[in-house]
């Protein structure tokens, strides 16, 4: 039984990777666009300051990993609406392999993008050092799976592509702009910084930025990994329970509350960090260190 699940998951993973490689839109959004952002941000904001170049790499890696969220939800809804999932339903195949293969194939596809982004930053944009590569690898691995699982939840609770796009847009915007992935978290007012600790994206963004700049402590990285890991487990189980094969199998509006259920681990982490944790203090401290480092070189300003 378990061997069937593993075999089916791997079979589906292979075909999903092949299909993605034939999709030009996927290649553009997962490879070309992040590289474009990388060059753009480094040119505009870093201006040769290697510490900031590494920080921007962390932010770009965050966007690449979080992209899993958007891509997977749209793909699953598209497959369901087109009746493709119905055909798979006739085979001896459960929801588990369908969902797990989405996550696994996405991970396989994210890794080369991440590697290319690191290599380009190192050799074309002259980043000094490599950052904490192990921490980057672990955060990318767990983060990619977690954000994929969030995407699958969105796909499971939405009934149409239009609904999916609207919900994705709202969540994506919050993830992108309030987590520190675009604007450094330390630049926000303190109340926004506190609120951002309730978002999974914050743990990924601060983790990757600190890993890329080599400012992260082991305990910080472990906290980030634990938060994302618990988020992954909860999100995968919720998406498995809510999974629908049929286009006409609609979920009641109340089922959308499951999205909030997936946030419970982050509400717990956010509450802890706001009350007792020192994450925000470290974020501010790291930001100051980056700024002071750049002050030593004239012509660098942020």
Partner 1 sequence: MTGPVIQVEGLYKNYGTVTALRGVNFSVEEGEVFGLLGPNGAGKTTTVEILEGMRTPDRGLARVCGLDPEKSGSRFKEMIGAVLQSTSLPDKIRVKEAIDLFANFYRVHGNTNDLLKRFQLEEKRDAFYSQLSGGQKQRLAIAMALVNNPQVVFLDEPTAGLDPQVRREIYDIIEELKRGKKTVLLTTHYIEEAERLCDRVAIIDYGRVIKIGTPRELKHASAGTTRIEVRLAKPVDNGVLGQLDAVANAREFDGTYVLHSTRAPHTIVALVKHLESDSNELQSLEMFSPSLEDVFIELTGRRLRD
Residues near partner 1 (CB under 8 A) are 4, 7-8, 11-12, 15, 18-19, 22-23, 79, 82-84, 86-87, 89-93, 245-246
Q: Residue 79 Cβ, how far from partner 1 at the closest point, in Å?
A: 8
Task: Quote the least distance from Cβ 251 to partner 1, whole Å.
Answer: 16
- CA 201, CA 153: separation in Å to the nearest integer? 16
4/288 with CB nearer partner 1: 4
| Nearer to partner 1 (CB atom), residue 3 or residue 299 | 3
Q: How far is the CB of 76 from partner 1 (least distance, A)?
A: 12
CA distance 38 to 125: 9
Q: Which is nearer to partner 1, 25 or 296 (CB)?
A: 25
* 246/278 with CB nearer partner 1: 246
* CA gap 17, 103 in Å, rounded: 11
CB 217 within 8 A of CB 192: no
Backbone angles phi and psi of 175, in degrees to 5: -60, -45
Phi, psi of 265 (to 5 degrees): -60, -35
Please choose, from the candidates 32, 34, 286, 63, the residue with its C-alpha nearest in 3D space to the C-alpha of residue 181. 63
Question: In terms of CB distance, is 26 or 198 closer to partner 1?
Answer: 26
We find the least distance from the C-beta atom of residue 175 to partner 1, in angstroms, to be 28
In the bound complex, what is the minimum distance in angstroms from residue 67's beta carbon to partner 1? 20
Residue 204's alpha-carbon distances to 23, 48, 84, 224, 298, in angstroms, are 27, 25, 33, 7, 32
């Amino acid at each position: 039984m378990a061997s069937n699940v593993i075999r089916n998951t791997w079979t589906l993973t292979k075909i999903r990777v092949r299909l993605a490689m034939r999709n030009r839109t996927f290649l553009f959004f997962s490879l070309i666009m992040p590289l474009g952002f990388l060059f753009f941000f480094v040119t505009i904001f870093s201006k040769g300051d290697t510490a900031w170049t590494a920080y921007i790499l962390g932010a770009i890696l965050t966007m690449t990993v979080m992209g899993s969220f958007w891509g997977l939800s749209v793909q699953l809804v598209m497959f369901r609406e087109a009746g493709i999932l119905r055909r798979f339903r006739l085979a001896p195949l459960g929801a588990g392999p369908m969902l797990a293969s989405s996550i696994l194939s996405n991970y396989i596809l994210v890794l080369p993008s991440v590697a290319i982004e690191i290599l380009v930053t190192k050799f074309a944009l002259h980043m000094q050092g490599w950052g904490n590569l192990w921490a980057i690898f672990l955060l990318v691995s767990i983060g990619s799976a977690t954000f994929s699982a969030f995407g699958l939840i969105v796909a499971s609770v939405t009934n149409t592509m239009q609904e999916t796009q609207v919900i994705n847009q709202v969540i994506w915007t919050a993830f992108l702009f309030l987590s520190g992935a675009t604007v450094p978290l330390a630049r926000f007012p303190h109340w926004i910084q506190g609120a951002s600790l309730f978002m999974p994206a914050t743990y990924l963004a601060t983790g990757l930025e600190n890993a890329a700049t080599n400012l992260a402590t082991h305990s910080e990285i472990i906290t980030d990994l634990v938060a994302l890991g618990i988020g992954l487990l909860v999100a995968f189980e919720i998406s498995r329970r809510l999974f629908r094969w049929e286009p006409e199998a609609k979920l009641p509006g109340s089922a959308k509350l499951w999205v909030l259920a997936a946030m419970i681990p982050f509400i717990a982490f956010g509450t802890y960090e706001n009350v007792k944790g020192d994450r925000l203090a470290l974020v501010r401290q790291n930001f100051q260190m980056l700024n002071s480092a750049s002050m030593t070189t004239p012509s660098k300003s942020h």
